[in-house]
Structure 1
């Protein structure tokens, strides 16, 4: 049981780190023709990054930014709640609060990455392909769901 909890804790920390990288890095879309990438915050070329995104004023991008930031916040809160519950909760109880907070994180990732997918991922035909930040977002989606369900199922022994 201790090994399982330690494994979940390590995966949770990895998910937090990947969420930070996914949200901060500007590699959500990568150009096939030139050495350039587009992120949530900046438009980058091989020389420099500029703050001018062609769609920066769109509400969809602001929504994606907000939900990705919320997912980081909820993931960190869930990790802190898990550590708190680990040391204060009585034996035999379940990690309901940690699981619920992680599933809220999962929902925020789902909304953010899905909106990005529907609005921006397939723009300009085949000129762009998905970057590692976009893929990390979907990986974090899977990890946070698995962690959330495991928190809800596990009991402290």
Structure 2
């Protein structure tokens, strides 16, 4: 049982780390123009040699970008809260009970990641200026999609998990 518990904790921590990296790292969209520096764009900034805010990110045209920012931050916060609730429930709930509250929080985190990545996928060309149109998805975008099934599986594991001796 201790090995299963250690696996669940490590799996949850890995999902949380992926969420942190996907939210913070500046590689949601990558452009490699011929003869120039590679341009990395995240949810807030575009960077090559220097970083500058994403153009029009504060306007109503890019309101979906603000939704992606908010849901990724919310997913990261919910994943961390879920971990702390799991640790508290590990010592507080009675033997034989399930970690339902932890599972619900983790499943909400999974839903937030899915919403953020889906919105970004659907609206990928809306906020990029013409010089950034010919790019591709970056590593942070891929990490966001990888963290979705990880948080989903983690939430489902908490639903199945019962506290044993």
Superposition pairs of residues 17-32 of structure 1, within 5 angstroms:
17-32=17-32
Check conservation: 2:125, 2:133, Cα contact below 8 A. no
How many residue pairs match? The answer is 155
**Of the candidates 130, 138, 157, which is equivalent to residue 131 of structure 1?**
138
User: How far apart are 1:121 and its partner, in Å?
Assistant: 6.3
**Of the candidates 41, 45, 67, which is equivalent to residue 63 of structure 1?**
67
Mapped partners of 2:125, 2:142: distance in 1: 11
Check conservation: 1:16, 1:75, Cα contact below 8 A. yes
Per-residue CA shift, 1:98-126, capped at 9, x if unaligned? 10100000011111110001001697797
List runs of 5+ in structure 1 lacking aligned partners: none
Residue 48 (structure 1) aligns with: 50
Superposition RMSD in Å? 1.7
List runs of 5+ in structure 2 lacking aligned partners: none
TM-score (norm: length of structure 2):
0.88
User: How far apart are 1:139 and its partner, in Å?
Assistant: 0.8
Query: Runs (4+) of structure 1 moved beyond 4 Å?
Result: 121-126
Residue 16 (structure 1) aligns with: 16
Specify the SS of the correspondent of 2:162. coil
Mapped partners of 1:83, 1:146: distance in 2: 18
Mapped partners of 2:17, 2:144: distance in 1: 11
Check conservation: 1:55, 1:61, Cα contact below 8 A. no
Mapped partners of 1:97, 1:32: distance in 2: 45
**Of the candidates 42, 45, 48, which is equivalent to residue 39 of structure 1?**
42
Check conservation: 1:22, 1:136, Cα contact below 8 A. yes
